[in-house]
């Protein structure tokens, strides 16, 4: 069975997508989970590309044919590990996007200026929760497990003053802590997202306090030329709050940030 939080996020992504690429395991063949996903995808009425992955031999290429039983027109054999069929998959995606595009080639398109806003901070500091709160919907998975958000995710928010493109990023750890390749790539992507952002919200954990890593992350935003907003999250979870607590926290934050 598909986990509820994954299914909920997938539903949001499916609603917003024009073309869906469904990756299946050609070696394993059709599973019960595949059957569930096939029903979900058929119900969307959208164009579906089935990418039968791990096809690194002629025998397995023939086995991809069983996935036609789901009723989708396009089933392509690929091997992500060896790069087999990836070019054909990309060509197929581009062709489908052309078919479903709302704007034909040569038609004038009105381009609106969007404010680019990046949300950055340490892992599990509450970036995805903040993004979901701003949008009023569960756009990204919110989980107590640090590192749930691997990639930068763009979402457009319409406001009376104009459009704001929100960039939710993976948490940035210290270099010595980023051991997994996927995690290293997510940190690189988080820093690259700052290069195109106008404003960065640096999220700090009130319970854990301001750390040197918070200052380093804010420094990344400063180096990228972003205007910076520092937001202190989880203030309600802070114990023994007194009248002077906010001022003391702000003084400590300013001392740590050094700018």
Q: Where along the chain do its domains lie? A: 4-100, 115-257
Tell me 214's DSSP state: H
Task: Express each pLDDT in 203-257 by its tens digit.
Answer: 999 998 888 888 888 888 888 888 999 999 998 888 877 877 888 888 888 888 8
pLDDT of 232 reads: 92
Decide if domain 4-100 falls under CATH 1.10.600.10: no
pLDDT of 153 reads: 59
What is the C-alpha to C-alpha distance for residues 143 and 145, in angstroms, rounded to an integer?
A: 5
What is the C-alpha to C-alpha distance for residues 230 and 14, in angstroms, rounded to an integer?
A: 33
pLDDT of 21 reads: 92
Numbers of helices and strands, H then E, in the chain:
8, 8
> What CATH class does 115-257 carry?
alpha beta
Global pTM value: 0.50
What is the C-alpha to C-alpha distance for residues 59 and 70, in angstroms, rounded to an integer?
A: 21
pLDDT of 182 reads: 44
CB proximity list for 63: less than 8 A, separation 6 or greater:
26, 29, 52, 55
pLDDT of 82 reads: 81
Phi/psi at 53 (5° precision):
-85, 165
Q: Is 194 exposed, middle or buried (0-12, 13-18, 19+ CB in 10 A)?
A: buried
Would the CATH topology of 4-100 be identical to that of 115-257?
yes
Q: Is 55 exposed, middle or buried (0-12, 13-18, 19+ CB in 10 A)?
A: buried
Phi/psi at 104 (5° precision):
-80, 155
What is the C-alpha to C-alpha distance for residues 34 and 20, in angstroms, rounded to an integer?
A: 15
pLDDT of 220 reads: 86
- Ranges of the chain with pLDDT below 70: 1-10, 12, 58-61, 100-113, 137-153, 168-190, 259
């Amino acid at each position: 069975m598909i986990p509820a939080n994954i299914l909920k996020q997938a539903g949001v992504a499916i609603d917003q997508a024009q073309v869906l690429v469904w990756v299946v395991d050609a070696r394993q063949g059709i599973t019960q989970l595949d059957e569930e996903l096939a029903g979900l995808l058929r119900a969307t009425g959208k164009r579906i590309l089935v990418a039968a992955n791990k096809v690194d031999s002629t025998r397995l290429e023939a086995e991809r044919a069983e996935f036609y039983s789901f009723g989708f027109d396009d089933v392509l054999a690929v091997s992500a590990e060896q790069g087999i069929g990836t070019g054909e998959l990309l060509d197929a995606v581009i062709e489908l996007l052309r078919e479903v595009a709302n704007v034909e080639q040569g038609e004038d398109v009105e381009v609106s200026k969007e404010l680019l806003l990046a949300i950055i901070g340490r892992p599990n500091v509450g970036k995805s929760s903040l993004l979901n709160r701003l949008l009023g919907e569960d756009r990204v998975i919110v989980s107590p497990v640090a590192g749930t958000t691997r990639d930068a995710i763009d979402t457009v928010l319409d406001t009376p003053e104009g459009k704001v493109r929100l960039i939710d990023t993976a948490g940035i750890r210290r270099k010595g802590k980023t051991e997994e390749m996927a995690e290293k790539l997510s940190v690189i992507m988080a820093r690259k997202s700052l290069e195109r952002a106008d404003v960065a919200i640096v999220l700090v954990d009130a319970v854990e306090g301001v750390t040197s890593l918070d200052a380093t992350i804010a420094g990344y935003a400063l180096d990228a030329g972003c205007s910076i907003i520092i937001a202190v999250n989880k203030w309600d979870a802070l114990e023994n709050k007194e009248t002077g607590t906010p001022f003391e926290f702000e003084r400590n934050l300013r001392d740590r940030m050094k700018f």
